[in-house]
């Protein structure tokens, strides 16, 4: 009875093309399915009626994102940078290495976008170690050579310092003034930096959230680069953009491979560039699993590398043992390892260390004054030490796939073979291809031990076994990201902050890839025909869109 009052928002031509029923037709069938329908098909949500509801959710979001993007590119006048300025030519002579063809392609894409008079909004994706920083460097040089300032924001002090240390010598050689802004700088030092930014004397500023402070004023901010995008909310990105008197170009970088469907969903309002190639000579890191009973075997490999003059990381999931999770603390572990591996030199790095101490430890490790760095996941992003060849991870079952992949990416960055050694409490793990499928039949249950992760989330033992089995066999970050999506779903892959309101009731990003691509294509086609949704047949669609997405995605053009 209620179904007859529902309004249909999808145009008839679209429903015909998809072969799906109207909303008033679909809902009664789903609530009271025909007995001839198989339970399996219903459970898999594979009926035309399910497909109709899933498509509606995906289509509405893609339409909202397409409208947001349309608003960003059409109405907003940006900066037309001079992409062939003398500074760009000079950069070619300063770089100590040659670029990969993927880096050159992406530099061309970004340069073309910066040359246009509309504001650039671009996502730069690339696996760990593929060379995104040099692409960002090129964009910064284009901006500075055109008379503008650039800001590079990273999520942690470790990462912002790493960027600063690696970029400073190149900027210095080009005569570009670059400074690091961070929390904890003395009043006088900070005052001098802020004055330099405001006068325009400082052309490039690298920093953390410190860049968002109200007392940071730019003279002529033209380019904003946000690194490790998934660690920042949309608001922080907008806050940094707001520091410019006009609309600066924005480049968002991530080394956390995002599954294609998630990238389309989260970043549907951004253009995407992907670096899908590694610098020549990069060897794959050898990944090995060790149950806790075989720790000595892992330590033997670690010692062998140290004796060959290499360096290593040993990573623990927490800083101190909490009451809930009985973990070895990194602090105690450093002491035990120091005794076992005497006379090798150990350092300790964790999130609660004062900034100055963190900096000192990192500098010592880089200068080879420390052989083994015992750390919490502080090293997940940022440290770049070419002589480090071993990443030993304790309690590996408590880490997510993305975290493990980031940690593995810290080693094997130089000429020597890298090793990732995972010590876990899951017994013998068969190769992933031999593991039982995770899906359970309807009504089936099993008792499965719950494990707490380093991020404070709970997950099952079988999930952890599957994850480590996959990780040991695969080094492709994008393939791992797709697998993570299948295992955990979008909310967990991205975290609540990122996933936020994109909470589908029927659509499933791991399952409905084809439907999502179709939804995006149809949304773009619809807006080409009717950019403001003013045709009578789009009236209900526009109203639904306004109700569901206008506030969440700041769609000023709707309603």
**Helix H or strand E segment including 226:** strand 221-227
CA angle 46, 49, 54 (to 5 degrees): 75
Whether 329 shows a pLDDT value over 80: the answer reads no
Residue 489 and residue 510: Cα distance in Å, rounded? Answer: 7
Residue 212 and residue 133: Cα distance in Å, rounded? Answer: 22
Residue 77 and residue 117: Cα distance in Å, rounded? Answer: 6
Range with lowest mean pLDDT among 155-159, 377-381, 475-479: 377-381
Choose which CATH entry (3.40.50.10320, 3.40.50.1380, 3.30.420.40, 3.40.50.300) describes domain 286-474.
3.40.50.300
The SS3 of residue 103 is: helix
Query: What's the full length of the chain, in residues?
Result: 559
Confidence of residue 265 (pLDDT cuts 50, 70, 90): low
Instruction: Tell me the pLDDT tens digit for each residue of 28-57.
Output: 776 677 766 666 655 656 677 888 889 998
Residue 493 and residue 508: Cα distance in Å, rounded? Answer: 13
Burial code (b: 16+ CB inside 10 Å, e: under 16) for 319-329 equals beeeeeeebeb
Residue 501 and residue 508: Cα distance in Å, rounded? Answer: 15
Overall fold of domain 102-275: Rossmann fold (3.40.50)
**Backbone torsions φ then ψ of 211, nearest 5 degrees:** -65, -20
Range with lowest mean pLDDT among 234-248, 265-279, 443-457: 443-457
Whether 413 shows a pLDDT value over 70: the answer reads yes
Beta bridge pairs of residue 288 = 421
Residue 454 pLDDT: 54
Instruction: Decide if 51 contacts 515 (C-beta within 8 A).
Output: yes
Mean model confidence pLDDT for the chain: 80
CA angle 146, 150, 154 (to 5 degrees): 155
Higher pLDDT, 203 or 491: 203
Domain positions in the chain: 2-75+512-549, 102-275, 286-474
**Backbone torsions φ then ψ of 41, nearest 5 degrees:** -65, -40
Average confidence (pLDDT) over 73-84:
78
Q: Give the CA diameter of the chain.
A: 80
Range with lowest mean pLDDT among 172-176, 246-250, 438-442: 438-442
In this chain, the answer to whether the domains covering 102-275 and 286-474 adopt an identical fold is yes
Instruction: Decide if 533 contacts 523 (C-beta within 8 A).
Output: no
**Backbone torsions φ then ψ of 43, nearest 5 degrees:** -65, -35
Instruction: Tell me the pLDDT tens digit for each residue of 487-532.
Output: 766 655 545 444 444 667 788 777 787 888 899 889 989 999 998 8
Higher pLDDT, 358 or 446: 358
The SS3 of residue 400 is: coil
- Measured CA to CA in angstroms, residue 281 lies from 336, 415, 416, 417, 476 at distances of 36, 8, 10, 11, 16
Higher pLDDT, 450 or 369: 369
Instruction: Decide if 333 contacts 316 (C-beta within 8 A).
Output: yes
Whether 432 shows a pLDDT value over 50: the answer reads yes
Higher pLDDT, 236 or 90: 90
Instruction: Tell me the pLDDT tens digit for each residue of 468-485.
Output: 999 999 888 888 887 877
């Amino acid at each position: 009875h209620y179904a007859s009052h529902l309004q249909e928002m999808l145009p008839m031509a679209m429903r015909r093309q998809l072969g799906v029923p109207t909303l008033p037709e679909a809902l009664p069938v789903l609530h009271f399915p025909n007995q001839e329908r198989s339970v399996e098909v219903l459970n898999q949500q594979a009926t035309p009626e399910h497909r109709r509801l899933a498509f509606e959710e995906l289509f509405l979001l893609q339409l909202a994102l397409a409208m947001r993007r349309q608003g960003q590119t059409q109405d907003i006048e940006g900066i037309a940078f001079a992409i062939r300025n003398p500074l760009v030519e000079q950069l070619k002579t300063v770089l100590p290495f040659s670029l990969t063809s993927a880096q050159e392609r992406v530099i061309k894409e970004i340069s073309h976008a910066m040359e246009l008079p509309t504001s650039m909004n671009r996502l730069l994706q690339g696996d760990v170690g593929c060379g995104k920083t040099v692409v960002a460097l090129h964009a910064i040089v284009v901006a500075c050579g055109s008379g503008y300032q650039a800001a590079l924001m990273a999520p942690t002090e470790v990462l912002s310092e790493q960027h600063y240390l690696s970029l400073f010598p190149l900027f210095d050689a080009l005569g570009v003034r670059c400074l690091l802004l961070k929390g904890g700088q003395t009043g006088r030092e900070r005052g001098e930096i802020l004055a330099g930014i405001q006068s325009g004397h400082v052309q490039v500023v690298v920093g953390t959230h410190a860049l968002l402070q109200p007392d940071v004023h730019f003279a002529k901010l033209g380019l904003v680069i946000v690194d490790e995008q998934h660690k920042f909310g949309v608001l922080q990105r907008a806050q940094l953009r707001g520091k410019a008197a006009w609309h600066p170009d924005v480049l968002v970088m991530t080394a956390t491979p995002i599954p294609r469907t998630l990238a389309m969903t989260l970043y549907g309002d951004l253009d995407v560039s992907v670096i899908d190639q590694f610098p020549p000579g990069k060897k794959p890191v050898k990944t090995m699993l060790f149950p806790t009973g075989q720790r000595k075997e892992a330590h033997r490999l670690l010692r062998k590398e140290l004796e060959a003059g290499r360096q290593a990381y040993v990573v623990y999931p927490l800083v101190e043992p909490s009451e809930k999770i009985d973990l070895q603390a990194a602090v105690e572990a450093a002491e035990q390892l120091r005794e076992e591996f005497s006379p090798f030199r150990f350092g300790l790095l964790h999130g609660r260390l004062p900034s100055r101490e963190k900096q000192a430890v990192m500098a010592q490790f880089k200068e080879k004054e420390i052989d083994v760095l015992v750390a919490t996941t502080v090293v997940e992003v940022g440290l770049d030490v070419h002589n480090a060849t071993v990443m030993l991870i304790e309690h590996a079952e408590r880490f997510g796939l993305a975290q493990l992949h980031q940690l593995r990416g810290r080693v094997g960055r130089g000429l020597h073979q890298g090793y990732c050694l995972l010590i876990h409490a899951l017994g013998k793990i068969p190769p992933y291809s031999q593991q039982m499928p995770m899906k359970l039949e309807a009504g089936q249950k099993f008792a499965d031990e719950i494990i707490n992760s380093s991020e404070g989330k709970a997950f099952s033992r079988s999930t952890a076994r599957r994850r480590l089995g996959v990780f040991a066999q695969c080094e492709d970050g994008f393939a791992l990201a797709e697998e993570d999506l299948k295992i955990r779903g979008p909310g967990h892959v991205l975290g609540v902050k990122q996933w936020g309101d994109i909470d589908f009731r029927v659509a499933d990003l791991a399952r409905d890839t084809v439907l999502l691509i179709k939804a995006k294509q149809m949304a773009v086609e619809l807006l080409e025909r009717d950019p403001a949704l003013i045709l009578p047949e789009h009236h209900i669609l526009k109203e639904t869109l306004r109700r569901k997405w206008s506030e969440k995605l700041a769609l000023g053009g709707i309603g």
